[in-house]
Structure 1
């Protein structure tokens, strides 16, 4: 296939930029993390406008820049400041980075329950390094971390109680049987805020990663933050780093907002996904920077026969203005655990750099379920190996009881307004012959693919394209005019 010259690519990129701007002129903004100027602005859900720093502008040139910043968080509960505040030091906690404060946090949660009918309460974490094992939150609580406050996860695995596997997984995700609890966790709660003045929650995950690599784990690792069967959740304006496993995992949740977050882990750390909504509905993820060792964002809904039986989909999810870096995995992923179904997801304004995949859909025989009604819009990729990947051969299963005839359905997917520089492969679409991917639509896409690389690899897929370079494989039919 004939390649674009550098000049031709720049002309095509300018035209695509114009089309992208015209297509979303009223609502789009540049992809970037926003830094809150005050806690009240976070808790009151205010719409703010910020600008990129000089260093960011030198690296990223957004597809379109406008002044208005729309927030999907405005569609959810308006979280306000609590009328009461108590410091963790009042329960005997010591912020020296050495004293184990698990009991102080347990005592605080027990006492603070009394504020549930009084407008709730804020647990204030002042500057210091607060070492603790697993913390179980309560309803109507704001966990607030001051600017130089760090909650440190204990490096003793015994400080993380063993709990049952999730019913939609049937076991621990890594190993059969139960699993470790997460550093920060909740179940059956409502009205929970985890926020601060850019404080930090550090999972100190290296000890977990070492145990994983050395195969000395007896149970599946816990996450940094896991929220189970909870609603009205806000996580904002903090740095999360070095999770043992996935970083933020809302599962069976409703009305969840994750915004203004920095999520970090070494690029070679195992399975340190950034944000994984799982069998959850009405989720808003916006204005975050994520650099981790696995998928930056992965939307899930249960694993094989357990996910199908549990039957709780992930749906009504908005992802916007995200910058991601993931050398080993994807910027945004759907699956592979998607047996309960994934639908009605909108991804808008994402910058992906140095990733193995830019946009990835992953599933396999035995998954069942569906991924449908997905829109991915305005994505800027830099140095990505495969820009768009749909793979139907993801074959890991929880046990031998998976259904060999339970095939996933992947349909009604729109990917538009995508630009990429230094791309190794434009697209990979490997569907299942028994259940081909269909109604896949590609529009306004310009990718600067390395000359020695294969542009597209396709099988068992059908769709359409409009204004896409390099030209997709014959499995996609050209549309003369977008409707």
Structure 2
């Protein structure tokens, strides 16, 4: 047995059974049993006729008469942006596709929110504000025609697809590696925050650049999204913002994997949320928790809280379940369980950076299953740099400079997070934890993990991190666990690959010895290495 090298003081463990008392209660909307079919208002399912006025008329009539269901029958229904109203359930029948037009003139510029900031954007295809009791349900498809809006990186397409895209029109960047829908889009992409809201400013020159999210529900209450497939969004797909009592059930969200900013579901500054039994296959983060960005997010001061995520599957995505990076209002009391991530760049992804501020705490994760993760199975990173998590071919990335900064309201925090029962079959790295010198990632508790990966664990600038009953099987064996300037790190019953050369490499003068118990060191060539100023006890 490895000798105990230090005494680790941890907060009392809280089992997952004990956390059920904190589970939020989420109330779903109820609708009157009356139906308004869009064909009664002149809509035609030919994929050619623009049905915006007809569909909106049905929604308005339903709302005016006390609510009910607006029915979209089977067919291809071309439309411009529509606005949901209180007490209206927009229901898409099986075989119905609500297709939003490529004509950007149909989307007026509106003041809204983009990545946590006050912005002007083109109106979202579906939106609502201050609505109560709303739903989008059924078995049909909502298609945002996002390819008309997005720019595309050459490295994300095959050579054949790239040639087809270039031949379709648009313009290329000066280095010929990015395709833009128009010259106006290209020009706006070189500007510093061209969509920032300024009263009286004319945005016509940058309109083409200001991609909308497919659906934005702002300050709404009692929301149901159920059964529908949402796909091909211009930017983020589903964006509930500052809303309460959101139920997301049995939906499918699809975007091309090359879709820039093609997030699946971004829950921002919302309270009382249930997301269950849904599927995501997208171009950016799958299920993401946000709460505003930097000073604007801190001024808003609305955390995303009281959230349940369960029974969901994420395929292609930058992250399966994600918190951040726009988390300046904080996030707390979030419960994630029984989810599967297959092929997502990162599995569990917590990201932030200096300048955000905000506290992410009281996160409970249980029963997570992962397969073929190209990056880190579990990641906590406080140096997020707004880049894809997996470098493209030939892309070089420098490590961030390590320096102490003053702690103030702009300093973010990750703390009090428990992760239990995680099983990973294939990843580049099992666990990556990187805090700030002035603000360590603090009090993470891991238990019952079976992790198969190329690389093991990388723990930097962290405190009070415990691992219990972990099987860590890696192909790179020197070291299995790398620790940098961290303290109060403990392992209880660690199993690892045969023929491991070095079990723990401890680096940095601010590192403290690791507590290791119930672990067999007979098959390792060397148990510990102390480097770069780390002191051997």
Q: Shorter-normalised TM-score: what interval?
A: 0.7 to 0.9
Residue 213 of structure 1 deviates from its aligned partner by 4.6
Partner of 1:125: 72
Q: 1:361 aligns with which of 350, 370, 377?
A: 350
Residue 396 of structure 1 deviates from its aligned partner by 5.6
* Conserved? CA contact 1:245–1:272, under 8 Å: yes
**1:336 equivalent in alignment to 2:340:** no
Partner of 2:134: 192
The 3 A distance-change label for structure 1 pair 464 and 24 is closer
The 3 A distance-change label for structure 1 pair 236 and 229 is same
Partner of 1:137: 84
- The 5 Å alignment of 1:16-27 reads none
Partner of 2:435: 431
* Conserved? CA contact 1:167–1:310, under 8 Å: no
**TM-score for the superposition, normalised by structure 2:** 0.70
Residue 226 of structure 1 deviates from its aligned partner by 1.0
Q: 1:241 aligns with which of 205, 211, 231?
A: 231
Q: 1:205 aligns with which of 146, 159, 174?
A: 146
- SS of 1:355 mapped into structure 2: coil
C-alpha distance in 1, partners of 2:128/2:359? Answer: 28
**1:441 equivalent in alignment to 2:448:** no
C-alpha distance in 2, partners of 1:168/1:266? Answer: 20
Residues 245-292 of structure 1 deviation map (CA, whole Å, 9 limit, x = unaligned) = 111110000000000011111111111111111000001000001101
Partner of 1:347: 336
- The 5 Å alignment of 1:328-477 reads 329-384=318-373, 385-395=375-385, 405=408, 406-450=410-454, 454-462=455-463, 463-470=465-472, 472-474=481-483, 475=486, 476-477=489-490
Structure 1: runs of 5+ lacking an equivalent: 1-22, 29-71, 173-177, 398-402
- SS of 2:56 mapped into structure 1: helix
Residue 154 of structure 1 deviates from its aligned partner by 0.9
- SS of 1:112 mapped into structure 2: helix
C-alpha distance in 2, partners of 1:145/1:277? Answer: 23
C-alpha distance in 2, partners of 1:167/1:424? Answer: 32
Q: Larger radius of gyration, structure 1 or 2?
A: 2
Residue 78 of structure 1 deviates from its aligned partner by 4.8
Q: How many residues get paired? A: 398
Partner of 1:279: 269
- SS of 2:275 mapped into structure 1: strand
After superposition, the CA RMSD in angstroms is 2.6
Partner of 2:106: 159
The 3 A distance-change label for structure 1 pair 262 and 279 is same
Partner of 2:48: 98
Residues 324-367 of structure 1 deviation map (CA, whole Å, 9 limit, x = unaligned) = 1125x100100000000100100001110112100000000000
Structure 2: runs of 5+ lacking an equivalent: 1-14, 152-169, 171-177, 189-205, 388-405, 473-479, 494-516, 519-537
